[in-house]
Amino acid sequence: MGQDIPSDVLSIMDPDERVALYLKQKKYHPAINIESVAITNKRIIFRKPSALTLKKSYTDYSFADILNVTMDKGPLRSTLKLTPRAGGDDLLIEDIPNDEAQQAFRMIREGIDQARTRFNV
């Protein structure tokens, strides 16, 4: 998809895993650290650099770990809210362009549906 996926994200992926969509959250103030999300064919990887990008933290969620996804669509940008199956706080992917948000919503919804089918058979 011609997306610039950071090599550190690619290095933590499985050999048969591929990135379907890579999203960067827009920040309106000057920022060195940009939170991003990679949606793969297996999971959702949240990438959060810190300490002037010298340190990065990653959290990933299998589609089976996500109970639901909702989209709050604004005039230009949207927020996706993922509800974890185990409870706890919702996961937010905020301030992304509407077209990318719609694409991400469809991919996540499809991943959740496939996980349910796989584990409920």
52 — pLDDT class (breaks 50, 70, 90): low
The domains of the chain are located at: 7-119
pLDDT tens per residue across span 56-87: 889 999 999 999 999 999 999 999 999 998 88
Beta bridge partners of 39: 21, 44
| Least confident window among 18-22, 38-42, 48-52 | 48-52
Is there a contact between 72 and 78 (Cβ–Cβ < 8 Å)? yes
Q: For 29-100, list the strands marked E by DSSP.
A: 36-40, 43-50, 55-62, 66-73, 77-84, 91-97
Reading the block at residue 93, the tokens are 């992917």
Say what the pLDDT of residue 116 is: 87
User: Does 53 score more than 70 pLDDT?
Assistant: no
Identify whether the C-beta of residue 58 lies closer than 8 Å to the C-beta of residue 46: yes
pTM: 0.84
Q: Does the domain at residues 7-119 carry the CATH identifier 2.30.29.30? A: yes
